[in-house]
């Protein structure tokens, strides 16, 4: 059992490719900020080496725009640094453009399509209240 939860919430009305894209991007954000959650490299029986992955399960949840906005507000209120993906980032093509469009919004007007974080289990449960397991 882990003392923390690694959680990703994606907006339920996205196309499948968008959900997968957002989930992948957000997971890299959390992992880069928390390198201690990354396990050891993998080796198959013949000795081929594969990248290490998270040693902790990642919980993927879904919710509507209101759930995501509340999760963002709760994370900010609790001082939990999160990875965040806003709707307008789908129209950009690279990291600098993503950061530029992201900077145009504040928490009260951002159209959040995904949020990810790692936090103490009880805090994570409070932040994710209203979200449900992704189908």
Show the beta-strand stretches assigned E in the chain. Answer: 4-11, 42-43, 49-50, 58-63, 83-86, 112-120, 132-133
- Compute the chain's Rg from CA coordinates: 15
Superfamily of domain 4-41+60-133: Bit1 (3.40.1490.10)
pLDDT tens across the length of the chain (135 residues):
799 999 999 999 999 999 999 999 999 999 999 999 999 999 999 999 999 999 999 999 999 999 999 999 999 999 999 999 999 999 998 999 999 999 999 999 999 999 999 999 999 999 999 999 988
The two structure tokens encoding residue 14:
């996205």
Report the distance separating Cα 9 and Cα 67, nearest Å. Answer: 9
What pTM was estimated for this model as a whole? 0.94
Report the distance separating Cα 126 and Cα 74, nearest Å. Answer: 8
Task: Give residue 33's Cα distance to chain centre.
Answer: 12
């Amino acid at each position: 059992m882990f003392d923390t939860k690694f959680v990703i919430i994606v907006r339920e009305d996205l196309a499948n490719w968008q959900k997968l894209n957002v989930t992948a991007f957000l997971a890299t954000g959390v992992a880069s900020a928390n390198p201690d959650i990354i396990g050891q490299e993998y080796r198959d029986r013949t000795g081929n080496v594969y990248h290490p992955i998270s040693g902790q399960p990642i919980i993927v949840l879904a919710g509507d725009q209101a759930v995501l906005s509340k999760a963002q507000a709760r994370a900010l209120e609790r001082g939990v640094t999160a990875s965040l993906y806003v709707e307008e980032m789908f129209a950009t093509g690279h990291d600098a453009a993503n950061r530029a469009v992201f900077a145009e919004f504040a928490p009260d007007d951002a159209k959040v399509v995904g949020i990810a974080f790692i936090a103490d289990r009880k805090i994570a449960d409070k932040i994710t209240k209203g979200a449900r397991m992704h189908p």
